Every structure is written in structure tokens, then in C-alpha cells.
Structure 1
Amino acid sequence: MASSNGALMASLILLFALFTANLRITDAQIGVCYGMMGNNLPSAREVVSLYQANNIRRMRLYDPNQAALEALRNSGIELMLGVPNSDLQSLATNADNARNWVQRNVLNFYPSVNIKYVAVGNEVSPVGASSNFAPYVLPAIQNVYQAIRARGLHDQIKVSTAIDTTLIGTSYPPSQGSFRNDVRSYLDPIIGYLVYANAPLFANIYPYFSYSGNPRDISLNYALFTAPNVVVWDGSRGYQNLFDAMLDSVHAAIDNTRIGYVRVVVSESGWPSDGAFGTSYDNARIYLDNLIRHVGKGTPMRPGGIETYIFAMFDENQKSPELEKHFGLFYANKQKKYPFGFGGEREWQIGSADNVTLPLKSDI
């Protein structure tokens, strides 16, 4: 009897080990963007502690805030470090400026700060309000890359830029995804660099904005991951949520340039809890919880984990318009806005030893 109990206990321990290992794989896909446009936010050291306490293992930082970088030392948190758009011209037109930027903000902290990526510019487009930055994105990327390469760190720290989905011209069906003709001369050389440097493209993917802009054709269930069945068939691929469809249209757009394979990291995704059409506490809770559950599975076009950064850590009271103030996972007083978590506290909710995600109910 004792040996039977021992065998049972050993089996349970093995099952739990497999289960928690798979949880770690899933959890490791999720990061959270740390925005600072609020006058009531906690100190950087408190924020890093909050990431650790909530098992958030990746952070996106939009500029090289020195207090945040100091607080990240020896934290174990992987970092996507941003170059603000306002710095692009300086880094693009003077290689010494780029070397100094890398020395001051990367080399002075690495490896005690686990910098994984440098995001050179955010949502720059050659057409529209940010077009003045567009000529500087690729040369800034190249100068930052060369400064990192000179120190032999180009395999550890990947340099890229973050786009939004307004650069996509065709998104339906996802396999026919393509970039707009008027942005190809901007994007194609960037994609060529990413192929050369074996770096991912960062993409900000927001089903909320697609839904709120076209609620007649896009159902809320499809946007919130709660559709009970496949909504869109694309050949043999079935899409049950808008996030996958949007992300696969980016994958296809890259593939359809025929320049080469480039992985996509979702550098932002979120849902505001207030401030505009389609916003509510429940919609945001459902979207974010389901996103966290989903990213370990991949998309129909790219099965496997989707490295994804949730926007954002806090409600930021100095942003505008109003809905931009309500993307936070936490209130400024460090209280959680939503009940779900990122690791141990949700482990019996999200899977089993073979990492099967529980089916989502359509009536959540």
C-alpha cells in the first residue's frame, strides 16, 4: 500500500511539474507596457516591484527613463526599450549620437537590466501626422544596430520599430494581407533590414479600434474572443477572434512582400474600460483575460506562442482623448483593476498538464 501511495504521489508531482512548466511557457509570452503619462503614478521602484509581485516578466518602456532602468537592475524582467520618435533624427543623422545613446541607455545597464529589444520609433507612418519622422526610422535603426553589434550583442539585443495596423491596405481575408502601396517604399527596406538582422517586427494590434470603427460588420463577440464558433473561414483556416485575424494579416503582408520571413511581436494590445463607444469595465476585463489565455496558442497562420505586450500598466490621467486614460491593468494607487493575474494565482484556471486552454464561453 505504501509503495502504491508513493507511486501515486510521484505521478502527481510529475503531473504538477509538467503543468507548471507549461504555465511558465504561456506566462512568458505576456509583457505589459509601462507608460508614464500620469501625475499620480507610483515611483519606478514601486512599479518594478508591482511587476514582480504580479508575475509580469516582460516590460515595454517607451523611452530610456533612467529611474526605471535603475529600478530594473537584477529584477529578471525582460525589457523592450523605446527610442522616442523625437530622438529619431538625431540618431539617424549622426552615428556618434547613436553610439552615445546606446552607451548611456543600453550598455550602462546591460546585462543587469535584461534588455531584449530596442524599439526605434513607435507608429511612424510616411503618410499622415508622423510622416516627418519616417525618413529617419531606418537609418536610426541601422545606427543603433551597428552600435550594439560593435559590442557583440546583436544576437542578444534585437533592434526594430513598432508599426500600427493603419499601414495594412488589405486585411481580409487574412491570407491576402498586404501593406498599402503608399507605404511600401518606407516599409520594404525596414523589412529587408529585419531579415538581415534576424529581428522581429513590432506591431500594435487593437481589435477594440477595429470594432469601434465598424460595429456593423464586426461583432463584439468576435472582438472579445467570445464567439462560440468560427466567424471567418480563410481557406482551411478558421478565425474565431479578431486578434488572430488582424495579426495574421500582418504576417501575410510581410510574406507577400516576398522579402523574407520576419517574426511579429505584438508590442501593444488592450481595451479601454471607459471613455468612448464599446468601452466598459466588463468588455475590457473579458478582452484582457482572454488575450492572456490565448497568446500561448498562436494564430491559425503561426501556431505557437505570440509574444504580446498589454497596453498598459496604469490608467494615465494626462493622456487624451478620454478613452486613452482608461487602458490600465492597475489604478494609479497600485490596486488591480481586474481580478485575473499572470501566473500562479490563475494556474488552475487556464490549462492542464498538456497546456490545453479551457474553451471560452460565448456568454461570458
Structure 2
Amino acid sequence: MNCPQILVFFLLTCSAILLKLYYPQEQDGSIIVVEKNVGLNYGLLGDNLPSPSKVISFYKSIGITKIRIFDPNTEVLNALRGNTNISVIVGVKDQDLAALAAREEAVKDWFAINIEPYLADVNITTITVGNEVIPGPIGPHVLPVVQSLTNLVKSRNLPILISTVVDMSNLQQSYPPSAGMFKPQAREQLVPVLKFLSQMNTPIFVTIYPYFAFVSDPDHVSLDYAIFENKYPVFEDGLMKYTHIFDAIFDAFVWAMEKEGVMDLPMVVAETGWPSAGRGKFTTPRIAGTYNRNFVKHVESGKGTPKRPNSSIDGYLFATFNENQKPAGTEQNFGLYNPTNMKPIYKLF
């Protein structure tokens, strides 16, 4: 082989390797493109779900490298042993927060039981304290548990972030985004958490569902605006132009934080998605697939939002499977895959 031939062969070989790395093959032969900033929520509210070991193998086969679980499920964590290429967010159960907030020793015990055994061979990157409990009766317990866990991981030099997950019900006003502000109860319970996270440079995890904004006000929120299909801005907020409602919701939360003196706090989208069934013509596999594909493209673009341009967005799609033990209707139909055969409900990537 002469030099030009060797060079061509080398380039073709590298291209083939890169294609295999970035375009893994799904079990049915279709190509899946996985963006590094997009992960999956792994819920377990179903009686027909595949075993955790099968699910973790499935994640590996489709190139998923980030997942979120809602509690320290031992079967899932054991299935993850040795799969350190998959990073994991582990949630603290809502019902455990009161007891953990009451005693720092209880936090140490919880960590020793639920996290300690997996530190060596499971890539636990984050612990989230409660899921959408602020604002509410459990909300006041979040901050002391976040503080205790943060002190614990820092005392041991563990690279684990401690945060919480909140939804957009914390916003009293969200339109236009620059008018974003928190409700009084959210100010009381959430703002101290945000200020602590800001001191620690730890992101707040938020859930953003344009689907619910759309179905609650379809006369004023168009479907294209909700599923990233608009080609031109719908409205302007000062110098900022909004083409998608996702960006408007995201930025309203940013504005609300800034009004409380919390500047530049990173935000991770803990959940977003669209149901493929359960509510007539606006919950179909086609529409759900369109929303989720466009969300992935939005993340891939690196454009950020009008308020935070050119800032990458980390996000987790909800959810891996349809879960038949959730409330009937749309709640059971946010899954990307059918749990009985692990086939996609619609083409995602």
C-alpha cells in the first residue's frame, strides 16, 4: 500500500470507529443517536417492567450514559455495579425527609445503607432530596437534609452533588418570562435552598412540561409552540425572542431566581416529555415523538435559551417505559419504550 492509500485507509477506519461510537445499533437494527447531555428517567411504577439487569443492558446497547432513579432501589443499583460509564442520579424518598431532617445521625445512617455500598463500582453523581415537594408540607424538610448530605459528602471528599427537584408550580407568574416570580410559599421554602445551592455551585433540578401548559390553555398556546415546531418567534420580551414555550418556561424560572438575588445558578432539566396516549388527538406517538426529538435537537444545538444563550442544557427525558401502576390516562403513557418487549413506542433518535 502506498502512502496515499494508507492515509485513505486510516481515515476510513477512523470514520467507521466514530460511527460505531456515536451511532450505536438498536436491537431492531435502527440507528440511535444519543446526545451526551440527554439522559433518561427510570421509573419503576409498573408490574410488567423488565428486570433491572435487562434494563441496564438495554441502556448500554442504545448508548444511554445518564439515568435518574427516584429512590435508592437496591435491585437497580446492584444491576449498575461495574457499569461506571452510566452516571446515576439517586433520589431520596419524599416520605423519608421528615425523619432525616430531624436528626443528622439519621442522614448518616441513610447514606451508609443506601449509598455507601455502591460507591466503589456505581457512578453516583447526584443525590436529589425530594421530588417536587416544594412548595408544600414536606418542603421545609428539604434544606436541612440537603445541608446535612452536603456536609457529609464534602467531609469525605466525595464528588457527589446534593440538590432537589422542583416543578413550575413554584412560579406565581411566568409570562412574559422577565415577569417570572415565585409564589409566597415558594419564596419561603425554595429561596433558602437556591441560595445554599448557589454557595455550593450546585445546580437546581427542575421539571418542565410544555404538554401541561398546552392542555391547560390550548386557546392561547399553539401545539407548534409547545413541541418546538414553530419556525419564527411567537413573542418578544424586551430584546429576547421566544419561538418555543420550553425556553419561555425555563427563562421565567431564571428570572424568578434573579429577583431573589440568586444569579447564575445552573439548572438541570430533571424531567421533560410528552405522553403518547391518554388524551385524544394531542397525545399520539407522532406528537410525543416530535416533542422529544425536538427537545434532543434543542439540547444538541447548544443555543441555550434567550435568557441564557450559548449555554448548554442538561436534561432527562421522562420516562424510559410506560408505567401501568401510575394514575390512569396520560400519566401511564410518558414512556419511550414498551415495557413488555422493550421496543420503541415511536422513533426517537
Aligned residue number for residue 165 of structure 1: 168
The residue matched to 2:125 in structure 1 has which SS? strand
Q: Which amino acid aligns with 1:301?
A: K
Relative distance call for 1:240 and 1:97 in structure 2 (3 A) is: same
What corresponds to 1:361 in structure 2?
Answer: none
Structure 2: tracts of 5 or more residues without a match: 25-32
Task: Note if contact 1:38-1:319 (Cα within 8 Å) is conserved in structure 2.
Answer: yes
- 1:33 paired to 2:35: no
Per-residue displacement from partner, 1:328-364 (whole Å, max 9, x unpaired)?
01111211112233xxxxxxxxxxxxxxxxxxxxxxx
Secondary structure of the residue that 1:27 maps to in structure 2?
A: coil
2:134 corresponds to which of 125, 138, 141:
125
Q: Deviations over 1:63-107 (max 9, x none)?
A: 000010011112121111000110101111111110111122222
1:253 to 240, 253, 256: 256
Contact 1:202 1:265 in 2 (8 A): yes
Structure 1 counterpart of 2:78, from 31, 45, 70: 70
**Cα distance, 1:4 vs. partner?**
5.8
Q: Does 1:152 align with 2:157?
A: yes
- What residue is the counterpart of 1:134 in the other structure? 139
Q: Find the residue that maps to 1:295 and give its secondary structure.
A: helix
Asked whether the 8 Å contact 1:32–1:313 carries over to 2, the reply is yes
Asked if the contact 2:45/2:325 (under 8 Å) is kept, the reply is yes
The 8 Å contact of residues 286 and 346 in structure 2, kept in 1 or not, is answered as no
Equivalent residue number for residue 93 of structure 1: 102
2:150 maps to amino acid: Y
Q: For the Cα contact (< 8 Å) 2:39–2:317, is it kept in 1?
A: yes
In the TM superposition, 1:1-364 aligns within 5 A as 27-75=35-83, 76-126=85-135, 131-153=136-158, 156-276=159-279, 278-296=282-300, 297=302, 298-302=304-308, 303-333=310-340, 334-341=342-349
Quick one: distance in 2 between partners of 1:55 and 1:214? 37
Q: 1:3, CA displacement in angstroms?
A: 5.7
Q: CA deviation at 1:132?
A: 2.1
Q: CA RMSD in A?
A: 2.4
For residues 82 and 246 of structure 2, the distance between their equivalents in structure 1, rounded to whole angstroms, comes to 34
Give SS of 1:148's match: helix
Aligned residues: 335
Q: Deviations over 1:110-164 (max 9, x none)?
A: 14111111110011133xxxx22112111111122222222111xx211111000
SS in 2 for 1:274: coil
Give the Cα separation in 2 of the matches to 1:270 and 1:36.
Answer: 17
Q: Structure 1: how far apart are the matches of 2:13 and 2:307?
A: 35
> Per the alignment, in what secondary structure is the counterpart of residue 211 of structure 2?
helix
Q: After TM superposition, give the deviation of residue 237 of structure 1 in Å.
A: 2.0
Residue segments in structure 1 that go unaligned for 5+ positions in a row: 342-364
Structure 1 pair 20–207 and aligned structure 2 pair: CA distance change class (3 A): farther
**Equivalent residue letter for 1:206:** Y
User: Which deviates more from structure 2 when the two are superposed, residues 78-87 or residues 144-153?
Assistant: 144-153
Q: CA deviation at 1:7?
A: 6.2
Q: Secondary structure at the match of 1:115?
A: strand
Task: Report the Cα offset of residue 321 of structure 1.
Answer: 3.5
Give the direction of change, closer, same or farther, for the CA distance of 1:148–1:227 in structure 2 (3 Å limit): same
Are the equivalent residues in 2 in contact too, given 1:41–1:332 (CA < 8 A)? yes
Alpha-carbon offset, residue 11 of structure 1: 7.1
Q: 1:241 deviation in Å?
A: 1.1
Distance 1:111 1:205, change over 3 A: farther
Contact 1:102 1:148 in 2 (8 A): no
In 2, Cα distance between equivalents of 1:8 and 1:234: 52
Q: TM-score, normalised by structure 2?
A: 0.89
Which consecutive aligned stretches of 4+ in structure 1 deviate over 3 angstroms post-superposition?
2-26
Distance 1:32 1:188 in 2: 28
Q: From the superposition, tell whether residues 101 and 274 of structure 1 become closer, same or farther in structure 2 (CA, over 3 Å).
A: same
Structure 1 residue 236: Cα displacement = 2.3
Alpha-carbon distance change, 314 to 103 in structure 1, aligned in 2, over 3 angstroms: same
Residues 189-229 of structure 1, C-alpha deviation per residue, up to 9 Å, x if partnerless?
10111012211000000000000101111110011111121
- Counterpart of 1:56, as a letter, is I
Rounded to whole Å, the distance in 2 between the matches of 1:13 and 1:224 is 39
Cα deviation per residue 1:13-38 (whole Å; 9 max; x = unaligned)?
88899999999997110110000000
> 1:170/1:21 Cα in 2 relative to 1: closer, same or farther (>3 Å)?
farther
